[in-house]
Structure formats: C-alpha cells, structure tokens
Structure 1
Amino acid sequence: MLVTEIKDRVGRLKKFLIQDPQNISLHLDLIRQLSLLGDIESLTNHLETVKKLYPSHPGVLYEESLLFMSTGDFGAAEGNLKQILSQGETDGEVLYLTAYCCLMRSSPQEAFSYLETCYQENRDNIRFPILMARIQYFLRALDNVEECLQEALGLDAESVEALSLLASCKLDQSDYKAAKFYADKVLALSPDEANALGVLAYCNMADMEFDDAQALISRALDVKSDSGRLWIGQALLSMRREELAMAEAQFVKGLSYMPGHIGSWNALAWCRILLSDLQGAMDCCEKAIELDRGFGETYGALAVVELFAGNIESARLNAKKAIRLDKANFSGFFAQALCDHISGNEQKASEIILSLLNSPVDESGKKLTDYLSGFIIA
C-alpha cells in the first residue's frame, strides 16, 4: 500500500470515528495505519485515548506492546503481553513476542517457558526456531542451538540471521574452520553483516592474525557501534598493542552493552592489573563472582590481584580454587606460579606486570591477551 493510500485511509477512519467513537475495530485499524506511516506521535496519542476507553482490551494492549518494543521498552511490552495471556489468550504470536521480550531482558529461562508452549505448532515459521536458538544460545546449550538453526536453515537455506548465529555458535565451540565457513556465507549474502565480521575477527585473533582482525573489527563497529562483543574484541586488540588506557575504556563500553558477560569482566580485571589499578581489578573480579561463583578464571585473576596487593596466602587459596574449578585454568596456574616465586616482593611484582604483555606464556608464542580472547567469546 502506498503512503498516499495509507494517509487517505487514516483520514477516512478518523471521520468514521467521529460518527462511532466507541468502535474498537475502527480504533485498532487506525492504530495500525498510523504505525505503517511511522507517525509515532499520533500513534502514541491515539493509543492513550483508546486505553481510556478500553484499558484491558487485548488488541489495544497488543498494539501498545508493539510500540513499546519499537522504542526498546521491552519491560513495558512484556507487561502488556502477559496481561493479554492472563485473559486466556494462547495465540502463538503473543507467546512469541512475550518470549522475545523476556530474552531481551536477559531472562532466557522464562523466555523458554513461553516459547516452548507454542513451539511445536509454529516451528515451520522460521522466526520460532531462530528465537529458540537464541534462547538456547543464551543458556549456553550450544548443541541445542545448532539443532534449532539447522531446522531454520531447512526452511530458508539463505537466512542471514540463522547463518550468522550458527557462525557465532561454532566460534564459541572453538571450531574456527566452521565459524569462518558460516561467516563467509553470511557475508556473501550480506557484505556488511556486523556479527559475521566480528566472528571472522575473533577467528583471526585465534590465528594470531591481528592486523586482519583489527580491520574486520573496525569495519564491524562502523556498522554496529552498540555491539558489546565487538567492543570487547577491539579492547583485546588495543590491549595487545599495550594501549591499556584505551583498552580499559573499550572494555567498559563493551560491558555497558552486555553487563552479564563474565569473561569480559575477567578481561577488564587483567587490563586493570596491567595498569596497576588493583582496586579496579578487584571490583571486576567481585562482579564476575556475583554473576557466577563457579567460573574458575575469575579466581585466578583474583589470586593475581591479591598477590600484587601482598596478600600471599589469600592469593594461594584463590589460585587453588581456580584450578579446582577448571583443570585447564590459565589464570589459576599463572597465579600459582607467581605465588611460588614472589613472597611479597613489590619490585618483583612490578617487573612481572611489565612483562605480562610482552612475554610469550607458552611455546606457541601466545601472550596473555591471546588467552583472554579464548574465554571472553560468548
């Protein structure tokens, strides 16, 4: 429908409502037409008018929830949608949107409970397996993510959204070859898709191809500057170049978009250790522990902070806890090794801080920041 046709329809609906101001069908039609026009001010004003007449009407609540979602107010949208469901509504679209709002508020388990109730009868609609994949991704059930995405790709083999999420899933499984494969497929369909660019950047970081990674991250941030994952990647690259103050600011920016990401709090803690900001590093570790008390890397970073603060016994205990939680824990073993060589010697501690960025930590030539990228991907 052309814009002129929509405007004509709006005009007619307004005239009809003068004659029949209680007609809810006319009101809902007008709301939808105003939405199509993108006339948010008129849409908002009319919704307020209609809500005074029909405060609990499911159609009005639904249209208002769409407006809330368009402005990023997912909490208000979720409230409306749950009010509709409380009236006995079982429509799959309402359940889908409720699940989506829950996920956007970082409540994946609740999102799953809503989507699960309508999933079987709607799984031939590609939006449903993709949303289920996103929920499972948030829950870190990566095998389930892949199953849902393969189902989505069976419905549309060129779904950029499904391919992009599958690339992220493969990256998180450290299957860099597959991650590159799917990211390349995305970029063949959509050359500026930011997530796929970011996936390739992280793959290049894993391969220690840092110039290529930087070019990809910069390109991705030009497209999507509100991606926490991209800002964290940029911070790691800055950190590797020893641009620590810049890296710290980039970590903080990234975490403003994904404050629940434990690995990024750990990476910021290491950045602050290198800046000799022990209290700032301690704050990061405490935040990470608050999010997940069972993530071993956090206790390794905390052990290093305690060590450099002169609390040797506390450092030893945290290093042991880190290794107990994760036998492949880099920071825990690193802290344990430091404890064995330092006994409150501040000069020695300072020397180690200065060498952290520059010295390879294993026979492959990888440095500290190369290991950090391994546990912040998520």
Structure 2
Amino acid sequence: MTIDNSSAEQNRLARLLTFLGHDPTNLALLADALALAIDLGDVIHGQQLIDHMKTQAIEEPNICALAAHVSLQAGQYAEAGAFGDKAIEGGIKHPAVIFNTAQGHFYSGDYATAHTLLSRLSHEAQSPTSLLVMHARALHQLEETEEAEALVARALLQDPANIEIRGLLALLQYENDNYSPALITAHETLAQNPDQLDALIACASVHFHQHNITASRNAWLHTIAVHPECGRAWSGLARLEFNELEFDAAEEHLKTAVKFMPDHIGTWHLLAWIYILRGDSIQARRALDCSYALDRNFGETHGGLAIVDILEGMTERAQKGIRRALKLKPDGLSARYAEALLLQQAGHPEKAAQVIDQVLDRTRPDSSDTGRVLMENWLQTHQNKIPDRHPDQH
C-alpha cells in the first residue's frame, strides 16, 4: 500500500499549525511550518503563518527569511522585500535570502534597492542567468544601461540559446545608441520568436531613429497586437504618428499608453504638446498636471505649464513659470518656446526669432546634429504632409 506523500505532508503542516496554536512563540515550530509551506507551495497556510508572525510580533531573522520566501510565492512582493530586509539587517547573508529580498523589491518597483542587493551577488563569476537578467532589468529602469548591457552579455555567454536574454540585449544596445548591432540582434531574436517584446521594441525604435517610418510603424503595430498592455509600444507608435502629423491617432494611442505606464513623464509631455499645438489649454494643463504630480522639479513640465498660462492670458504667472523652468533646466525647449511666445505677444518678433534660433542652433542631446539640421531634414521629408484637422480647429 502506497502513501500519498503530499497528503501526508499537508497533514503534518496542519498538525504544526495546531501545535503553534498551543505554543504560539515556539520559533522551531514556526520555522518548520514555514519551510513545509514553502516546499508544498501552500499559499493559504503560508499566509496564515505570516498573520501568526504579525500577531505575535515575531521578527527573528531566520523566520523573516522564510517569511520573505512565503510572501514571494503568494505574490506579496512589497511584504517579501520588507521581511527580507529584516532578515538581512539581522545578520542573514545567505545568497538565496538576498536574492529573494531583491526579487521582492524588484517586483514592487523599488529598482534602486533591488540593484543594491543584487550588486552583492552579480559580481560572482558563476552568478546564474536569472540573477544577471534581473539585475540588468533593474539597472535599465534606473537608466544605467551600459552596466545593464554588460550583465546581459555575461548572461548570454552562459545561455546563448536564450531568446529572452538576446531580446533584452537588442533593447539595451539600442538604448546605448548602438543602432546597427541592436537591429542585427533584434532580427536574430525575432527570426526565432517573432513576438519577443524587447526585440520588437528595439527593432521599431531603431527603424524610427533611422527614419524608416514604414518598417517602424509595422513593428509597433505588431508589438501592440501581441503585447496590448505594453505602454512603451503604444507610446512609441504615438511618437511616430506625432512625427508624421497624425495628431488624432497619436492622441488616442498616448491615452492608451498612460493607462499602462502612468508614471512616464515623457508620454504625458507628448500628449500635452498635441493639445498645445491645437490651442487646447484645458487638456494640455491636465496632462502637464499629471507630469507635475510625478516630479515637481522637472524643468520641461514647468516650461509646458508656462506655455499653457500664456494660452490662457496669464502672462505674469507664465513669466514665473519660465524662470522656474530655466532654473531647473537652462536649455529647456518648452521654456524657451514660452519665452518666444511672450516676446511675440509683446510686439518683439525679432527677439522671439532670436530665441528660437538659439534653440535650433544647439546640438540635440540624442543626435550629432543641431536642431536646425534636424528640422530642415524633417521639413524636406514632410513638405507635402498636412496635419490632422481637429474638430475644434478652423
């Protein structure tokens, strides 16, 4: 007669819970119960044990380390990070505990803490690919893309057939302005998996940067078809449409983008610019207010709000906004545009033109060309293009 081991272990876990009811601060019993819940993947009893810890105010480091693992299994990522922090602060140095804690912080969006923890592990030559990739993604979120690319390259050496790692490498190559290698890596990835998200983003982005609008549009459309909740894909498509003066489509797709990534300031700014160009100050202010709520010290947001103030006739308020914007970002485009608008309104078109000329003669941060060269190239490409006419425009 065979015994169902799983059933026997479940019965044992139930007995441990009963014993804990009679001896609630018995750490050995609690540790055994947590470890067994982890082995069984028993989320329900695991949560009961977490609740028991809280009720009894138990914060012993080894118990907290086990609780972090239980919380991860339950998808309670912030709690996993908090329990893991207590374990590490209490002297636990085991790599698995550090990794579990880093996972908790990573999946709850605390990429800086995840990076700090993973840095203690990723320097090891034999670090597993899962650790290297998670660290790379945390660094990517922190815009430390060169270090992230180096980690992904290490991971790919360990697992050269891994499509997800190769796709992430393509994206990071793009982020680091290595456009030709990024496109090659993306195509290699997509040849094996046409739906790999990172490679699709890299492919669409490189094509857009290289002014291959049709290929970029096709890549973005495929991306949103297979990854409809990817905010970056909706935003990328909208940026292309904005560039092509397809403002109605860009507006709708930006609205979708901010549903999936409401904390991306640049997407709110692009949406605001559509409304500014239409003269819709109410909607522009709403978009910029969302950006302001994310970061009160972002110069371009203050510059954009100054433009909206000008549209609404609040000149003095606009002047204050321009000063704030330029203090935060001396070369801010929106603040300089607001300055030019004020000069134009004050009857100084020549001075307004000088301000715009100063902006255009600067080398753009993402290009070796000046703004003037980029604008002239764009005008040459789009000389016969007519922007969408909005119902409010005449």
SS of structure 2 residue aligned to 1:88: coil
Indicate yes or no: 2:18 matched with 1:12. Answer: no
Aligned runs of 1:74-85 on 2, under 5 Å?
74-85=77-88
What's the Cα RMSD here? 3.8
Distance 1:48 1:338, change over 3 A: closer
Measure, in 2, the Cα distance between the counterparts of 1:182 and 1:64.
38
Q: Residue in 2 aligned with 1:365?
A: 378
The structural deviation recorded for 1:327 is 6.8
Could you say if the C-alpha distance between residues 267 and 8 of structure 1 is closer, same or farther in structure 2, counting changes exceeding 3 Å? farther
What do residues 211-251 of structure 1 show as CA deviations (whole Å, max 9, x unaligned)?
Answer: 32232122212322222211212333454566645543432
Q: Distance in 2 between matches of 1:326 and 1:49?
A: 52
- Cα-to-partner distance string for 1:25-58 (whole Å, 9 max, x where unaligned): 88567635653xxxxxxx3333245557777535
Residue type of the alignment partner of 1:182: T
Query: Which structure ranks higher in relative contact order (CA pairs < 8 Å, sequence separation ≥ 6)?
Result: 1
SS in 2 for 1:117: coil
Query: 2:164, 2:196 within 8 Å by CA — same for their partners in 1?
Result: no
Alpha-carbon offset, residue 308 of structure 1 = 1.9
1:216 aligns with 2:222: no
Alignment partners' CA distance in 2, 1:263 and 1:195: 20
CA distance in 1 between partners of 2:119 and 2:110 (Å) = 14
AA in 2 matched with 1:45: I
Which residue of structure 2 aligns with residue 263 of structure 1?
Answer: 266
In 2, distance between residues paired with 1:312 and 1:247? Answer: 30
Query: Which of 61, 70, 74 in structure 1 is aligned with 2:67?
Result: 61
**SS of residue in 1 equivalent to 2:123:** helix
Matched, 1:44 2:50: no
Q: How does 1:147-186 map to 2 (within 5 A)?
A: 147-186=150-189
The secondary structure found in structure 1 opposite 2:116 is helix
Q: 1:135-183, CA deviations, whole angstroms, 9 ceiling, x for partnerless residues?
A: 2222222232223223323323344343333333333344432331232
1:278 correspondence with 2:285 = no
Taking the TM superposition and a 5 Å limit, the aligned residue runs for 1:1-378 are 8-15=4-11, 27=33, 31-32=37-38, 34-35=40-41, 43-51=42-50, 57-58=63-64, 60-69=66-75, 73-121=76-124, 124-239=127-242, 244=247, 247-292=250-295, 295-312=298-315, 314-315=317-318, 318=321, 329-343=332-346, 362-365=375-378
Q: Per the alignment, do residues 204 and 15 of structure 1 end up closer, same or farther by CA in structure 2, a change over 3 Å counting? A: same
Structure 1 position 197, deviation (Å):
0.9
- State the identity as a percent: 24
In 2, Cα distance between equivalents of 1:317 and 1:108: 35
Largest Rg, 1 or 2: 2
Cα 1:48–1:176, aligned 2, differ >3 Å: closer, same or farther?
closer
